[in-house]
Amino acid sequence: MLDVMTAPMTTQAQHSATNARQMLNKVPEVTAYFWIIKILCTTVGESFADYINATLGVGLTDTTIIFSAALVAVLVAQFRLRRYVPGVYWAAVVLISVVGTLLTDILTDGLGVPLWLSTTVFSVVLAAVFGIWYARERTLSIHSIVTTPRESFYWLTVLVTFALGTAAGDWTLELTGWGPGPSVLLPAGLIAAVFVAWRLGAGPVLTFWLAYILTRPLGANLGDFLGSPRSDGGLGLGTLWTSVLFLTTILVVVAYLTRTKQDRTERVHHSTD
Protein backbone atom coordinates (compact mmCIF):
# COMPACT_ATOMS: atom_id res chain seq x y z
CA MET A 1 0.00 0.00 0.00
CA LEU A 2 2.73 2.39 -1.05
CA ASP A 3 0.47 5.09 -2.43
CA VAL A 4 -3.00 4.09 -1.33
CA MET A 5 -4.43 7.59 -1.19
CA THR A 6 -3.79 8.75 -4.76
CA ALA A 7 -7.44 8.53 -5.76
CA PRO A 8 -8.74 12.02 -6.67
CA MET A 9 -11.23 13.81 -4.49
CA THR A 10 -14.82 14.07 -5.67
CA THR A 11 -15.87 17.21 -7.52
CA GLN A 12 -17.87 18.35 -4.52
CA ALA A 13 -14.94 17.81 -2.16
CA GLN A 14 -12.61 19.66 -4.52
CA HIS A 15 -15.02 22.60 -4.70
CA SER A 16 -15.38 22.71 -0.92
CA ALA A 17 -11.63 22.54 -0.38
CA THR A 18 -11.04 25.28 -2.96
CA ASN A 19 -13.48 27.62 -1.27
CA ALA A 20 -12.06 27.03 2.24
CA ARG A 21 -8.42 26.46 1.38
CA GLN A 22 -6.02 28.32 3.61
CA MET A 23 -3.02 25.96 3.54
CA LEU A 24 -1.17 23.40 1.50
CA ASN A 25 -1.93 19.80 2.42
CA LYS A 26 -0.82 19.28 6.04
CA VAL A 27 0.01 15.55 5.87
CA PRO A 28 2.64 13.58 3.93
CA GLU A 29 2.27 11.58 0.76
CA VAL A 30 1.49 7.94 1.57
CA THR A 31 4.60 6.14 0.40
CA ALA A 32 6.71 3.33 1.83
CA TYR A 33 8.38 5.94 4.05
CA PHE A 34 5.01 6.81 5.56
CA TRP A 35 4.28 3.24 6.63
CA ILE A 36 7.82 2.63 7.88
CA ILE A 37 7.78 5.70 10.12
CA LYS A 38 4.22 4.98 11.25
CA ILE A 39 5.18 1.49 12.46
CA LEU A 40 8.32 2.86 14.13
CA CYS A 41 6.19 5.48 15.91
CA THR A 42 3.75 2.87 17.20
CA THR A 43 6.62 0.78 18.55
CA VAL A 44 8.02 3.84 20.33
CA GLY A 45 4.56 4.55 21.71
CA GLU A 46 4.49 1.16 23.38
CA SER A 47 8.10 0.87 24.55
CA PHE A 48 8.68 4.48 25.62
CA ALA A 49 5.42 4.65 27.58
CA ASP A 50 6.37 1.43 29.37
CA TYR A 51 9.86 2.72 30.10
CA ILE A 52 8.71 6.01 31.62
CA ASN A 53 5.73 4.53 33.43
CA ALA A 54 7.11 1.25 34.75
CA THR A 55 10.91 1.20 34.49
CA LEU A 56 11.47 4.72 35.79
CA GLY A 57 8.50 4.43 38.12
CA VAL A 58 6.92 7.74 37.14
CA GLY A 59 3.47 6.19 37.32
CA LEU A 60 0.61 5.95 34.86
CA THR A 61 -1.12 9.21 35.77
CA ASP A 62 1.99 11.40 35.81
CA THR A 63 3.29 9.82 32.60
CA THR A 64 -0.01 10.59 30.89
CA ILE A 65 0.06 14.22 32.08
CA ILE A 66 3.65 14.71 30.89
CA PHE A 67 3.11 13.31 27.41
CA SER A 68 -0.32 14.93 27.00
CA ALA A 69 1.22 18.34 27.73
CA ALA A 70 4.01 17.66 25.22
CA LEU A 71 1.43 16.54 22.64
CA VAL A 72 -0.62 19.71 23.08
CA ALA A 73 2.49 21.85 22.59
CA VAL A 74 3.48 20.02 19.39
CA LEU A 75 -0.07 20.11 18.01
CA VAL A 76 -0.21 23.87 18.60
CA ALA A 77 2.95 24.16 16.50
CA GLN A 78 1.50 21.81 13.88
CA PHE A 79 -1.74 23.79 13.55
CA ARG A 80 0.18 27.06 13.20
CA LEU A 81 2.05 25.78 10.17
CA ARG A 82 0.67 26.42 6.68
CA ARG A 83 2.03 23.23 5.13
CA TYR A 84 3.41 19.80 5.97
CA VAL A 85 6.71 19.94 7.87
CA PRO A 86 8.12 16.43 8.49
CA GLY A 87 9.78 17.09 11.86
CA VAL A 88 6.72 18.65 13.48
CA TYR A 89 4.23 16.23 11.91
CA TRP A 90 6.07 13.08 12.97
CA ALA A 91 6.81 14.45 16.43
CA ALA A 92 3.05 14.77 16.83
CA VAL A 93 2.55 11.18 15.66
CA VAL A 94 5.16 9.86 18.12
CA LEU A 95 3.56 11.71 21.02
CA ILE A 96 0.04 10.80 20.02
CA SER A 97 1.08 7.15 19.86
CA VAL A 98 2.31 7.38 23.45
CA VAL A 99 -0.83 9.17 24.65
CA GLY A 100 -3.12 6.76 22.79
CA THR A 101 -1.35 3.84 24.47
CA LEU A 102 -1.63 5.48 27.89
CA LEU A 103 -5.37 6.16 27.45
CA THR A 104 -6.00 2.44 27.01
CA ASP A 105 -3.63 1.59 29.87
CA ILE A 106 -5.52 3.97 32.17
CA LEU A 107 -8.82 2.31 31.34
CA THR A 108 -7.41 -1.22 31.67
CA ASP A 109 -4.89 -0.95 34.50
CA GLY A 110 -6.19 2.10 36.33
CA LEU A 111 -9.95 1.69 36.10
CA GLY A 112 -10.24 -2.04 35.46
CA VAL A 113 -12.22 -1.67 32.23
CA PRO A 114 -12.21 -4.98 30.29
CA LEU A 115 -10.32 -4.86 26.99
CA TRP A 116 -13.36 -6.05 25.03
CA LEU A 117 -15.33 -3.09 26.36
CA SER A 118 -12.64 -0.48 25.65
CA THR A 119 -12.22 -1.96 22.16
CA THR A 120 -15.96 -1.64 21.59
CA VAL A 121 -16.12 1.91 22.94
CA PHE A 122 -13.17 3.11 20.87
CA SER A 123 -14.67 1.47 17.77
CA VAL A 124 -17.94 3.34 18.31
CA VAL A 125 -16.08 6.62 18.93
CA LEU A 126 -14.02 6.14 15.76
CA ALA A 127 -17.14 5.43 13.71
CA ALA A 128 -18.76 8.58 15.13
CA VAL A 129 -15.72 10.71 14.30
CA PHE A 130 -15.64 9.36 10.75
CA GLY A 131 -19.38 9.95 10.39
CA ILE A 132 -19.23 13.57 11.57
CA TRP A 133 -16.09 14.25 9.53
CA TYR A 134 -17.68 12.92 6.33
CA ALA A 135 -21.03 14.62 6.96
CA ARG A 136 -19.27 17.97 7.31
CA GLU A 137 -16.52 17.69 4.68
CA ARG A 138 -17.83 15.00 2.27
CA THR A 139 -14.41 13.35 2.15
CA LEU A 140 -12.13 11.35 4.46
CA SER A 141 -9.14 11.52 2.13
CA ILE A 142 -5.93 12.63 3.80
CA HIS A 143 -5.06 14.45 0.58
CA SER A 144 -7.72 16.98 1.51
CA ILE A 145 -6.28 18.20 4.84
CA VAL A 146 -6.10 21.82 3.73
CA THR A 147 -8.33 23.53 6.32
CA THR A 148 -8.25 23.73 10.10
CA PRO A 149 -11.52 21.76 10.60
CA ARG A 150 -10.24 18.90 8.45
CA GLU A 151 -6.93 18.90 10.28
CA SER A 152 -8.80 18.77 13.59
CA PHE A 153 -10.80 15.76 12.44
CA TYR A 154 -7.63 14.14 11.17
CA TRP A 155 -5.70 14.36 14.45
CA LEU A 156 -8.72 13.31 16.50
CA THR A 157 -9.05 10.27 14.24
CA VAL A 158 -5.36 9.45 14.62
CA LEU A 159 -5.63 9.60 18.42
CA VAL A 160 -8.66 7.30 18.49
CA THR A 161 -7.02 4.82 16.08
CA PHE A 162 -4.01 4.54 18.39
CA ALA A 163 -6.23 3.94 21.43
CA LEU A 164 -8.35 1.44 19.48
CA GLY A 165 -5.32 -0.36 18.07
CA THR A 166 -3.85 -0.68 21.56
CA ALA A 167 -7.06 -2.05 23.06
CA ALA A 168 -7.78 -4.42 20.18
CA GLY A 169 -4.20 -5.67 20.09
CA ASP A 170 -4.07 -6.30 23.84
CA TRP A 171 -7.47 -7.99 23.75
CA THR A 172 -6.27 -10.30 20.97
CA LEU A 173 -3.21 -11.27 23.01
CA GLU A 174 -5.43 -11.84 26.05
CA LEU A 175 -7.65 -14.19 24.05
CA THR A 176 -4.88 -16.09 22.28
CA GLY A 177 -2.18 -16.14 24.95
CA TRP A 178 0.46 -15.75 22.24
CA GLY A 179 4.01 -14.76 23.12
CA PRO A 180 5.94 -11.76 21.76
CA GLY A 181 7.12 -13.49 18.58
CA PRO A 182 3.90 -15.06 17.24
CA SER A 183 1.89 -11.99 18.24
CA VAL A 184 3.57 -10.00 15.45
CA LEU A 185 2.22 -12.34 12.77
CA LEU A 186 -1.52 -11.63 13.17
CA PRO A 187 -1.52 -7.85 12.53
CA ALA A 188 1.13 -8.34 9.82
CA GLY A 189 -1.12 -10.89 8.11
CA LEU A 190 -4.16 -8.63 8.37
CA ILE A 191 -2.24 -5.71 6.90
CA ALA A 192 -1.16 -7.96 4.03
CA ALA A 193 -4.82 -8.90 3.47
CA VAL A 194 -5.81 -5.22 3.39
CA PHE A 195 -3.03 -4.55 0.87
CA VAL A 196 -4.29 -7.36 -1.36
CA ALA A 197 -7.85 -6.03 -1.07
CA TRP A 198 -6.64 -2.57 -2.13
CA ARG A 199 -4.79 -4.01 -5.12
CA LEU A 200 -7.97 -5.86 -6.12
CA GLY A 201 -9.96 -2.63 -6.15
CA ALA A 202 -11.17 -1.99 -2.60
CA GLY A 203 -11.70 1.65 -1.72
CA PRO A 204 -8.43 3.51 -1.05
CA VAL A 205 -9.81 5.56 1.84
CA LEU A 206 -11.23 2.50 3.62
CA THR A 207 -8.10 0.41 3.12
CA PHE A 208 -5.86 3.26 4.24
CA TRP A 209 -7.63 3.68 7.57
CA LEU A 210 -7.86 -0.08 8.15
CA ALA A 211 -4.12 -0.38 7.61
CA TYR A 212 -3.55 2.67 9.82
CA ILE A 213 -5.42 1.03 12.70
CA LEU A 214 -3.65 -2.32 12.22
CA THR A 215 -0.17 -0.80 12.28
CA ARG A 216 -0.79 0.07 15.94
CA PRO A 217 -0.91 -3.54 17.23
CA LEU A 218 1.83 -4.49 14.77
CA GLY A 219 4.18 -1.83 16.13
CA ALA A 220 3.25 -2.55 19.75
CA ASN A 221 3.77 -6.28 19.36
CA LEU A 222 7.07 -5.66 17.58
CA GLY A 223 8.13 -3.48 20.51
CA ASP A 224 7.18 -6.22 22.96
CA PHE A 225 9.14 -8.76 20.93
CA LEU A 226 12.28 -6.61 20.90
CA GLY A 227 12.02 -5.49 24.51
CA SER A 228 10.84 -8.62 26.29
CA PRO A 229 13.42 -10.86 28.02
CA ARG A 230 14.70 -13.85 26.08
CA SER A 231 13.13 -16.10 28.70
CA ASP A 232 9.72 -14.76 27.61
CA GLY A 233 10.37 -15.23 23.91
CA GLY A 234 11.69 -11.73 23.13
CA LEU A 235 15.08 -10.42 22.03
CA GLY A 236 15.88 -8.86 25.40
CA LEU A 237 16.70 -5.32 24.23
CA GLY A 238 14.59 -3.76 26.96
CA THR A 239 12.19 -0.85 26.62
CA LEU A 240 14.92 1.81 26.79
CA TRP A 241 17.11 0.48 24.00
CA THR A 242 14.10 -0.41 21.86
CA SER A 243 12.91 3.19 22.22
CA VAL A 244 16.38 4.61 21.46
CA LEU A 245 16.80 2.38 18.40
CA PHE A 246 13.45 3.30 16.90
CA LEU A 247 13.61 7.00 17.78
CA THR A 248 17.03 7.22 16.14
CA THR A 249 15.71 5.51 13.02
CA ILE A 250 12.73 7.89 12.92
CA LEU A 251 15.05 10.89 13.19
CA VAL A 252 17.24 9.62 10.36
CA VAL A 253 14.30 8.96 8.01
CA VAL A 254 12.58 12.25 8.86
CA ALA A 255 15.83 14.15 8.27
CA TYR A 256 16.13 12.43 4.88
CA LEU A 257 12.56 13.35 3.94
CA THR A 258 13.06 16.93 5.11
CA ARG A 259 16.06 17.24 2.79
CA THR A 260 14.65 15.40 -0.24
CA LYS A 261 10.97 16.43 0.12
CA GLN A 262 9.99 13.06 -1.33
CA ASP A 263 6.81 12.87 0.74
CA ARG A 264 5.42 16.31 -0.11
CA THR A 265 1.98 15.85 -1.64
CA GLU A 266 2.19 19.09 -3.62
CA ARG A 267 5.02 17.57 -5.67
CA VAL A 268 2.69 14.80 -6.80
CA HIS A 269 -0.79 16.33 -6.74
CA HIS A 270 -0.24 19.66 -8.45
CA SER A 271 -3.89 20.08 -9.32
CA THR A 272 -5.26 19.59 -5.79
CA ASP A 273 -2.65 21.17 -3.48
Distance of CA 2 to the CA centre of its chain: 16
Name the pLDDT band for 266 (thresholds 50, 70, 90): low
What span, in angstroms and rounded, lies between the C-alpha atoms of 211 and 152?
Answer: 21
Name the pLDDT band for 22 (thresholds 50, 70, 90): low
The pTM for the full model equals 0.83
CA distances from 36 to 42, 212, 219 (A): 10, 12, 10
The SS3 of residue 141 is coil
Residues 6+ apart with CB under 8 A from 270: none
What span, in angstroms and rounded, lies between the C-alpha atoms of 31 and 261?
Answer: 12
Name the pLDDT band for 1 (thresholds 50, 70, 90): low
CA distances from 244 to 25, 33, 47, 51, 194 (A): 30, 19, 10, 11, 30
What residue segments make up the domains of the chain, in order of their start? 24-267
